[in-house]
């Protein structure tokens, strides 16, 4: 009971940090807005108050229609990628595993590129086709990798990784070919592939949550089993774990969450690789703690990374993938050099 209380306390503390990071990010931008005004605007909206406030209409528009939808999507995407990365690391028993391990990124990139560089209309009946194409591409890439290596009685994770590499290489080569043949759209494709949250809207977050919430609770139900898998598949079978079914459920849940996230954010690297290691560094390798805490940590990290991306070269904006790589690569090298014991 004490341990469960501690887990909930940590989770609630980091949820509070997530909220504070969101408020901090909402205050800053091309037009700085005082924290008190941000809180009042949010409170008025939540309480559905029609009483005029002591803030300008432009501030309310900036907070409610531009910054908060973007912050919400950043938190959700960061949580999804971090949760999936931690799940893959536990399932594959490989500290280098990340959410893009078995082809999700390459499939999503190909789906988005097809829409950008071909004559397919980006909007059909008012619906943006690009996220749909990216989601379909990501899902198909994982499905192809799984079908190629799956046998009737077993799924080899090492073979799945190799199949994912092959699928990713194939999809990447088609993406490169399409980019070369369409010079005028190359900048748009590269921008999407580097990730970004420009144009985020509230319904984007809602759509991602539809996939993330079931995936999150599914994975949480198997965190104890992931701990058992760290001792080897044979040991897991001896204690009654149906390893084949567990693999399929965890891969499906993590891949679905990742595909939904990248369909709206583009390919944001390092979040799903670094957040689980940061949590492991602080709280250890118990996946009952690591996965929910990695989700919180990843959400905070991506909110702050997005803030840097939109502030550092004002009035222009950096792709958020540049910021996460700039922060993540040195951290990962530090872990490799000085914290090898945490990588096992």
- The structural domains of the chain, ordered by start, are 2-343 (1.10.3470.10)
pTM for this prediction:
0.91
The chain-wide mean pLDDT, for the chain, equals 87
Asked if 14 and 300 touch (Cβ cutoff 8 Å), the reply is yes
The beta-carbon contacts of 122-129 under 8 Å, at least 24 apart in sequence, are: none
pLDDT on residue 138: 93
pLDDT digits (tens, 9 = 90+) for 311-334: 887 777 888 989 998 888 887 777
Sign, CA torsion 104/275/16/250: positive
Asked if 44 and 328 touch (Cβ cutoff 8 Å), the reply is no
Q: Is 78 a residue whose pLDDT tops 60?
A: yes
pLDDT on residue 3: 63
Identify the top-confidence range among 50-64, 118-132, 239-253.
239-253
pLDDT on residue 196: 87
Q: In the predicted model, what is the mean pLDDT of residues 241-245?
A: 88
Query: Which residues are CB-contacts of 294 (< 8 A; sequence separation ≥ 6)?
Result: 82, 83, 85, 86, 275, 276, 278, 279
Residue at token pair 């901090």: 24
């Amino acid at each position: 009971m004490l341990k469960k209380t501690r887990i909930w306390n940590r989770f609630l503390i980091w949820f509070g940090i997530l909220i504070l990071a969101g408020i901090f990010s909402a205050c800053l931008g091309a037009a700085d807005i005082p924290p008190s005004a941000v809180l009042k605007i949010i409170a008025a909206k939540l309480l559905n108050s029609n009483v005029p406030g002591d803030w300008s209409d432009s501030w309310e528009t900036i907070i409610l229609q531009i910054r908060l939808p973007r912050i919400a999507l950043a938190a959700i995407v960061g949580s999804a990628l971090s949760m999936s990365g931690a799940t893959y690391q536990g399932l594959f028993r490989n500290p280098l595993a990340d959410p893009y391990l078995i082809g999700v990124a390459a499939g999503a990139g190909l789906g988005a590129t097809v829409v950008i560089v071909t004559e397919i209309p980006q909007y059909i009946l008012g619906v943006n086709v690009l996220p749909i194409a990216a989601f379909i591409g990501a899902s198909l890439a994982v499905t192809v990798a799984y079908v190629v290596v799956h046998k009737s009685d077993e799924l080899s994770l090492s073979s799945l990784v190799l199949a994912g590499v092959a699928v990713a290489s194939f999809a990447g080569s088609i993406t490169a070919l399409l980019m070369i043949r369409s010079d005028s759209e190359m900048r748009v494709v590269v921008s999407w592939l580097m990730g970004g949250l420009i144009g985020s809207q509230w319904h984007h977050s809602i759509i991602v949550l539809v996939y993330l919430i079931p995936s999150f609770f599914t994975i949480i139900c198997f965190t104890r089993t992931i701990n058992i898998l760290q001792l080897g598949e044979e040991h897991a079978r001896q204690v009654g774990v149906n390893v084949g079914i567990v693999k399929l459920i965890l891969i499906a849940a993590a891949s679905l969450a990742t595909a939904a996230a990248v369909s709206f954010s583009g390919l944001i690297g390092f979040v799903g690789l670094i957040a689980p290691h940061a949590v492991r560094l602080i709280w250890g390798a118990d996946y009952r703690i690591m996965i929910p805490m990695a989700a919180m940590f990843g959400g905070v990290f991506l909110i702050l990374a997005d803030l840097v991306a939109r502030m550092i070269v004002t009035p222009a904006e950096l792709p958020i993938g540049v910021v996460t790589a700039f922060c993540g690569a040195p951290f990962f090298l530090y872990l490799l050099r000085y914290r090898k014991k945490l990588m096992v």
